[in-house]
Amino acid sequence: MSHYMIFGKNNCPNTKKAREDFLKQSKSFVYINVDSDPQGLEKMLEYTDGKYMVPVIVNVDEGNVEIGYTGD
């Protein structure tokens, strides 16, 4: 089973949808709120080449990075 990190903001509808979908699918993830976690924000910016975009979903085991989320 893969493990994920979801970088996002509490007031972002796409972040909310990603978290809800991952819970429904029983996917293991850690949520990093970039508004309240400065180190998490820095890590997210590494994945996005310095662009402030949420959500950013990282498959920790495979190293895949998905920027944005629509549920498709």
pLDDT for the residue numbered 29 = 97
Q: Is residue 16 part of a domain?
A: yes
Q: Is residue 11 part of a domain?
A: yes
Q: Is residue 72 part of a domain?
A: no
Cβ pair 67, 53 in contact under 8 A: yes
Q: Is residue 62 part of a domain?
A: yes
What DSSP letter does each residue of 13-47 carry, written as one string? HHHHHHHHHHHHTT-EEEEEETTT-HHHHHHHHHH
Phi, psi dihedrals of residue 39, rounded to the nearest 5° = -70, -35
pTM: 0.93
Q: Is residue 53 part of a domain?
A: yes
Range of the structural domain that residue 62 is part of: 3-67
* Residue pLDDT, tens place only, 2-55: 799 999 999 999 999 999 999 999 999 999 999 999 999 999 999 999 999 999
| Domain count of the fold of the chain | 1
CATH classification at residue 49: 3.40.30.10
